[in-house]
A and B are shown apart, each in its own frame.
Chain A
Amino acid sequence: MRKRIHTPGLLRLLPALLAVALLFAATPLRAAEEKAEIDVKEAVLGHMSDAYDWHITTWNGHHVSIPLPVIVRSQRDGRWHVFSSARFGHDGKETYEGFYIDEERQGKVYERGYDARPWDISITKDVVQIWINIVILLVVFLTCARWYRKRNVQDAAPGGFVGMMEVLVVAINDDLIKASIGEKHYRRYAPYLLTVFFFLLVTNLMGLIPIFPGGANVTGNITITFLFATITFLFINLLGNREYWKEIFWPDVPTWMKCPVPLMPVIELFGIFTKPFALMVRLFANMLAGHAIILSLTCVIFITWQVNALVGTSLSAVSFLMILFMDLLELLVAFIQAYVFTMLSAVFIGMSLPEHHKA
Chain B
Amino acid sequence: MQNMPSILTPDFGLLFWMLLAFLVVLFVLAKFAFPAITGAVEERKRFIDESLKNAREANERLATIEAKSAQLLKEAREQQAQILQEAKRTGENIIAEARAKAQAEGRKDLEAAKAQIAVEKENALRDIRSQVVGLSLQIAEKVVRGSLADDKAQQAYIERLLAEQTQQP
Contact = CB atoms under 8 A, between A and B. Distances in A.
Interface stretch (B15-23, B75-83, B92-100, B102-110): B15-23
20 contacts: A45-B7, A49-B6, A50-B6, A106-B2, A106-B5, A119-B12, A134-B25, A137-B25, A141-B37, A142-B32, A145-B32, A148-B36, A149-B36, A165-B37, A191-B26, A192-B30, A195-B22, A195-B26, A227-B19, A288-B7
A149 B26 CA distance: 20
B167 interface: no
B18 A49 contact: no
A231 B15 CA distance: 12
A127 B7 CA distance: 14
B164 interface: no
Contacts of B9: 106, 222
A141 B24 CA distance: 14
Nearest to B30: A191
B47 to A, nearest CB: 4
B43 interface: yes
B15 A145 contact: no
B169 interface: no
Interface residues of A, number: 55
Contact of A227 (B15, B39, B41, B47): B15
B148 interface: no
B163 interface: no
A144 interface: yes
Interface in A79-112: 104-108
B115 to A, nearest CB: 96
Secondary structure at the A interface, as helix, strand, loop or mixed, is: helix
A342 to B, nearest CB: 13
Contacts of A199: 22, 25
B16 A221 contact: no
Given A45-B5, A141-B33, A195-B29, A130 B17 contact: yes
A194 B7 contact: no
Interface in A103-160: 104-108, 119-124, 126-127, 130-131, 134, 137-138, 141-142, 144-145, 148-149, 151, 153-154, 157
A232 to B, nearest CB: 12
A153 B43 contact: yes
A173 interface: yes
A48 B29 contact: no
